[in-house]
Structure 1
Amino acid sequence: MVPEISLTDPEVLTDPFTAYGRAREQSPLARVGAPGFGPVWAATRHETARAVLSDPRFELTANSYQRPDVPEHCRAYMRTMSEVEGAEHARLRRLVSPAFSARRALDFRPRVEPLVGRLLDDLPAEADLLRDFARPLPMDVICELVDIPGEDRPRWREYGIAVASGHGPAFAAAIPGIMAGAQAAIARRRDEPGDDVLADLIRAEDRLSDTEMVTLVWHLVLAGQTPANLIANAVATLLEHPDQLAALRADPGLMPRAVDELIRWCGPTLMTIPRYAREDVELEGVLIREGEAIVAAVAAANRDPRAFEFPDRFDVTRPGGGHLGFGHGPHFCLGAALARVQTEVALTALLAREFEPVKVERMPDPGTWRLSSLVVRFG
């Protein structure tokens, strides 16, 4: 029997890992729904989720650029790679992947470190790490990545806050500013060679169009919300596991493994965006009919005992790899290497300072594991 999960269930909102884990042990597929959403199929086991994310019979639909709150003249830039399939996606991916490789992310690390240092130095003795550190950092990194002028960066932080809200007047007002800033940055890079993502793409033999490059900047702004939630979740998790926090402080060389484990354990993605069956598909003995939606339940798959030894143990020494925190298949997160480096730098610098929790509050959200505040006091 296929288990059913209600996204309004208090347990799902407060402890999705247990709720999804219970469904996973009953069946590799579940039905997930809430008023106004679903029900949709959910792949709960690691192997099944990987299969869904790499199966071309399940496709995404492109619709964010059709939102009524997006100004008409900006819609040409809204259809990101996460909404493109097939040959078009493969072409875009081939062109931009070198600029986001693991080597490029490591090369970029010295430019992330001072951004982190300045944010930490500006914190008061008692600070909300989510509001004052984790949220502004990704937008600062994006500005550095595409060479937004220093005088414009405070405004881009505001854009980041508006985009994170996902709707409303501030969201709609931020979009033209982001697009105009991206256009100006691209024009500068065409006139003045530099060392950033836009310069890499302009120098490439097969070039993206200006529209595609503006779209990429928009994609970065959208994706930049993931490191913010990941960093906050990571700090909260380490505070909840003082033995692991002590081990990491004693041996900072564990940080790459620790970040991978944190993504597995408390990554913000609880489920992927829906994919839709292009035809009738039999999966795990169940018929998914053409047009029906399916998600990968990352919260369940990342703690699947079939894929991870002692999956319910948080262990900063665990060898990395295997988790689905950045997805899998053709749409594996383009900025995964940069997000890892950004999180490593942020946590390394933060853990070099002594602090204690004052208030940790979580935002009930069935799709994203995230905090609403993380107040600490520095000693």
Structure 2
Amino acid sequence: MTAGPGVRPMQLPTAREHPFDPPVPLRDLAAQGPLHPLGFPDGHIGWVTTSRDLARAVLADQRFSARQDLRHLPFEHSLGEDPAAPMLPGMFLRLDPPDHTRYRRLLTAHFTVRRLNGLTPRIQQIADECLDAMERAGSPADLVQHFALPIPSLVICELLGVPYADRSEFQGTTETMVRLGTSKEEFMAAMNHLYGYFRRLVAAKRADPGDDLLSALVTGGDLTDEELTGVGLVLLVAGHETTANMIALGTYALLRHPDQLAALRADPTLIDNAVEELLRYLSIIQFGAQRTALEDVELEGVTVRKGQTVVISIPMANRDPGQFDDPDTLDLTRSATGHVGFGHGVHQCLGQQLARVEMRVAYAALFRRFPGLRLAVPEEELAMRTDMAIYGVHRLPVAFEPA
């Protein structure tokens, strides 16, 4: 089977009937098999995979490329208007080995499990300070702005050496860059603004290095200022946008499932399980990852032709009934080991352990401080981030009693 004349590929569905579940047409498709033809907005015909095993296989297979200039996007976005645009130096997420390996090797020592677990006391302090400020502001409050966004933003700023006072320089521009309706002009303006900010920051670190990751890269490596700017930009954007949405959406999911929240309160040792299960169940990379075949590849009896892009549906892979019993149920007691919420292979998320620590601390601190936490508006009034590449909730108004 090949995707070509006579094949009627589906379009990637985006509408959700339930805030925590993948779109129904995609779920129906997954029941028919692991790989299906997919039509892309630019006219390209590629594939979408919905199984966990095939997702891992493609992500680990170096016959598939992550390069931006080769991929096609399965959703409308200004990035898709010029896929051949050159990749900025240092932006390693869209590079293949050996270029990707060179950057990744420089960063790995800064993201070890031991080192990031050592940040727990500081992350706890940040979470408590956010809750103090939220309590002072009074009930109701928007959990996104008061808690979910500040924690990972402040942590990544401190880790990189970015002044938190400059957060307005990157939070708004990041949101513009991941919004699906952003025009090419808006996207480029946001990118240029953020790139210019980091160029100035790199120059400042070179003149006066501090005790932070960016300074260590400036003084301890052979990266150019352009490469350092690209690396820093990737780490900053990836380091706060995804985790902020997991904290907010995970809170909403726990409030929506009071039995699971009660179980977590009754047994705080479930927190590690809870984090992994929420990562699996929510899968906020809603359009998945894209890989392009560098040669003809046989998958599940299907020929993926050289140049075709395969979309790895992270939400569907994490709901694979062949890997997870009753996958559409949130169950904090299950072991969700093997989910692909952080990807797989050489591009597996570098900061995954940092995200885990931040989520563990955030959920525990929030529900310990405000045991009566609840939604402050009807659920139908919540604006979900279906218009963003990173899924979540735009605002989460919550009510609570002072501690």
Q: Is the 8 A contact 2:89 2:227 kept in 1?
A: no
| Shift in CA distance, 86/127, structure 1 to aligned 2, threshold 3 Å | same
| Shift in CA distance, 176/369, structure 1 to aligned 2, threshold 3 Å | closer
Which amino acid in structure 1 is aligned with residue 259 of structure 2? D
Distance 1:256 1:158 in 2: 31
Residue by residue over 1:314-334, the C-alpha shift from the partner in whole angstroms, topping out at 9 and shown as x without a partner, is 121222420000110011111
Shift of 1:303: 1.5
2:358 maps to: 342
Distance 2:365 2:335 in 1: 22
1:46 maps to: 52
TM-score, scaled relative to structure 1: 0.86
Distance 2:16 2:166 in 1: 43
Segments of 5+ residues of structure 2 without an aligned counterpart are 2-6, 72-77
Give the one of 344, 354, 357 matched to 2:375.
357
Secondary structure class of the residue paired with 2:393: strand
Shift of 1:271: 3.5
Distance 2:57 2:298 in 1: 12
Please show how residues 199-210 of structure 1 align to structure 2 within 5 Å. 199-202=215-218, 204=220, 206-210=221-225
Which structure dedicates a bigger proportion of its chain to helix? 1
| Shift in CA distance, 317/188, structure 1 to aligned 2, threshold 3 Å | farther
Shift of 1:81: 0.9
Secondary structure class of the residue paired with 1:376: strand
Segments of 5+ residues of structure 1 without an aligned counterpart are none
Q: Is the 8 A contact 1:7 1:366 kept in 2?
A: no
Which amino acid in structure 1 is aligned with residue 162 of structure 2? I
Shift of 1:294: 0.4
Which amino acid in structure 2 is aligned with residue 50 of structure 1? R
2:330 maps to: 314
TM-score, scaled relative to structure 2: 0.81
Is residue 267 from structure 1 mapped to residue 275 from structure 2 by the alignment?
no
1:376 maps to: 398
Deviating more after overlay: 312-321 vs 344-353: 312-321
Identity rate of aligned residues, in percent?
36
2:232 maps to: 217
Give the one of 84, 97, 113 matched to 1:102.
113
| Shift in CA distance, 253/3, structure 1 to aligned 2, threshold 3 Å | farther
2:34 maps to: 28
Q: Is the 8 A contact 1:13 1:365 kept in 2?
A: no
Shift of 1:107: 1.9
Which amino acid in structure 2 is aligned with residue 291 of structure 1? G
Q: Is the 8 A contact 1:127 1:375 kept in 2?
A: yes
Residue by residue over 1:162-213, the C-alpha shift from the partner in whole angstroms, topping out at 9 and shown as x without a partner, is 4444735665444445334434444454555644222443464x54333222
| Shift in CA distance, 318/211, structure 1 to aligned 2, threshold 3 Å | same
Distance 1:338 1:326 in 2: 12
Give the one of 3, 8, 11 matched to 1:6.
11
Which amino acid in structure 2 is aligned with residue 287 of structure 1? T
Residue by residue over 1:137-173, the C-alpha shift from the partner in whole angstroms, topping out at 9 and shown as x without a partner, is 3322221122223543444444444444473566544
Which structure dedicates a bigger proportion of its chain to strand? 1
1:238 maps to: 254
Which amino acid in structure 1 is aligned with residue 394 of structure 2? S
Shift of 1:88: 0.9
Give the one of 12, 16, 30 matched to 2:22.
16
Q: Is the 8 A contact 1:139 1:160 kept in 2?
A: no
Q: Is the 8 A contact 1:233 1:267 kept in 2?
A: no
Shift of 1:90: 1.1
